[in-house]
Chain A
Amino acid sequence: MRAPVSQAPASPDSGAALASWLWPAGLAVLSGGLLLLVALPLAGLFFTASPRQLLAGLANPLVGPAVRVTLFTTTASLALVVACGTPLAWAIARRRTRAWRVLETALELPVVLPPAVAGVALLLAFGRRGLFGPTLAAAGIGLPFTRAAVILAESFVAAPFYLQAAVAAFRRLDPDLVLVARTLGASWSRVFFTVAIPLSRAGLAGGAAMSWARALGEFGATLMFAGNMEGRTQTLPLAIYAALESDLRTAQSLSIVLVAVAFALLVGVRAGARP
């Protein structure tokens, strides 16, 4: 039998009552703080200029070339990452030896590497005085400060996002399907193209979207390895940086465009991941 609430003794429970009140309150303050930290800058981005000012910002002559450079380089780096990354992910997913695990970890390194370090590393590899600079120069190829350098920088930082997703997708594949396909006479390449890829396409597409988004946002490595030349190597993030000095509204408009694209990608990836 339960005692009516009004008759419950007050004092021994008050400590517990306080604790039960403190915990959700603390939780609300702490998580609210983080929420504001994310939301306030976005609010600043969206609510400090009129739509007319933002549209005027997009008319800046920096914008057109930057959009073209960005579309071209991110598409090229996506193609590069998918074309090379899909077979590599398949190879990694099917092997369990220590050497392949080390390789897998090494390939994730660019995710945690500061972009400036990526820029230095790319320069020291492909720069004029870098590891392969003289070889490339002898072949008449100068990479740094070209559009190819932008593509390389974007691929370097974006590849791990695709690889991780692709390896995870291939690992989810039922091994019996692969085995049966082989007993049905399929070569490894046929298994790859007719079983592994079609059955992993949701995971691959999600990885491609995340990788493209990362390439779209690439700034540090591109700045150091490819420079900030309008119409040649100036991508949208670099254009935002350049515009910040002269025309804040342009920087703001471009930022809003990138936020919208990133948000659409996230929603798309979430929807695609749902079974």
Chain B
Amino acid sequence: MSALEVDVGGRAGELAIDVALRASETPLVVVGPNGAGKTSLLMMILGASTPRRGRITLGGATLFDAEQHVDVPLERRGLGFLPQRYALFPHLDALQNVAYGIVAPSRDERRARAMDALRELDVSSLAARRPAALSAGEAQRVALARTLARRPRALLLDEPLAALDVSVRRDVRRFLAGGLRAWRLPTVVVTHDRDDAAAFDGDVLVLEHGKVVQQGRLAELERRPETDFVRQLTSGRHDLPPGAP
């Protein structure tokens, strides 16, 4: 399986970002407090913002190299991106959403392939629905179908479970973790939830103030937390306000 390798530095507003990471066999889970630069890091990998220095390679192919002046435009990086609220096109139905990214010789073939993609995620019955008529869980599946239908070479997921009600979060989390194992793509998942990190079963990379402060298996982080944030995250109390009992 190929790997996504990133070693970049640059600015995002006031924040200086300097991160090296590698995602391959198992999803790389990126955690960190608000404003740590998680989304900014995703933007650099995607190609939506340009790092000052560094390299990004995917399966050996260079996507970005500051020294060599390589900067593959974002629409040709072959990365699948799932933003926090899934960003389905509200004026298109589910099938049209999925078909949007498919390149095929004919309109019929595009629609057929879009239908296949919906079927693979068990949401073909929703093909004619507009996003406004989908639940958050359904919207996530349609958005994943849209991403996967393009056969991306890596996946970037930004807080994929944050938009969901607690009542469905566990089921969707299990579904997504299973999917990530099945699709076998280098994946970076941004989350702020310990249970997500546990379910995706990969290395956890902790980002604070734009820098990597700790990286390892979740159990390892739990045994030897190196910052207050890691301690709070692994004890499951990261989302309590400071000073709460």
Contact = CB atoms under 8 A, between A and B. Distances in A.
Contacts, number: 52
B91 A199 contact: yes
B75 A185 contact: yes
Contacts of B79: 183
Interface string B72-94: 00111101110111010111000
Interface in A183-199: 183-187, 194-195, 198-199
Contact of B100 (A176, A186, A199): A186
A180 B43 CA distance: 11
Contacts of A264: none
Q: Give the residue among A179, A180, A186, A199 with the most B Cβ atoms within 10 A.
A: A180
B141 interface: no
B44 interface: no
Contacts of B81: 179-180, 183
B48 interface: yes
A181 B101 CA distance: 8
A68 interface: no
A128 B184 CA distance: 71
A182 B87 contact: no
Interface size class of A (residues with CB under 8 A): 10 to 19
B112 interface: no
Contacts of B101: 183-186
B43 to A, nearest CB: 8
A198 B150 contact: no
A182 B89 contact: no
B74 A183 contact: yes
A104 B46 CA distance: 29
Majority secondary structure of chain B interface residues (helix, strand, loop or mixed): loop
Contacts of A199: 89-91
A177 B150 contact: no
A192 to B, nearest CB: 13
Interface in A47-79: none
B103 A185 contact: yes
B89 A185 contact: no
A187 B87 contact: no
A245 interface: no
Given A181-B89, A184-B147, A199-B89, 7 more contacts: A179-B83, A183-B46, A183-B80, A183-B147, A184-B100, A184-B150, A186-B100
CB-CB nearest 4 A-B residue pairs? A184-B101, A176-B87, A176-B83, A183-B81
Interface of A: 174, 176-177, 179-187, 194-195, 198-199
15 contacts: A174-B85, A179-B83, A180-B83, A182-B48, A182-B74, A183-B46, A183-B79, A183-B81, A184-B100, A185-B150, A186-B75, A186-B101, A187-B75, A198-B91, A199-B91
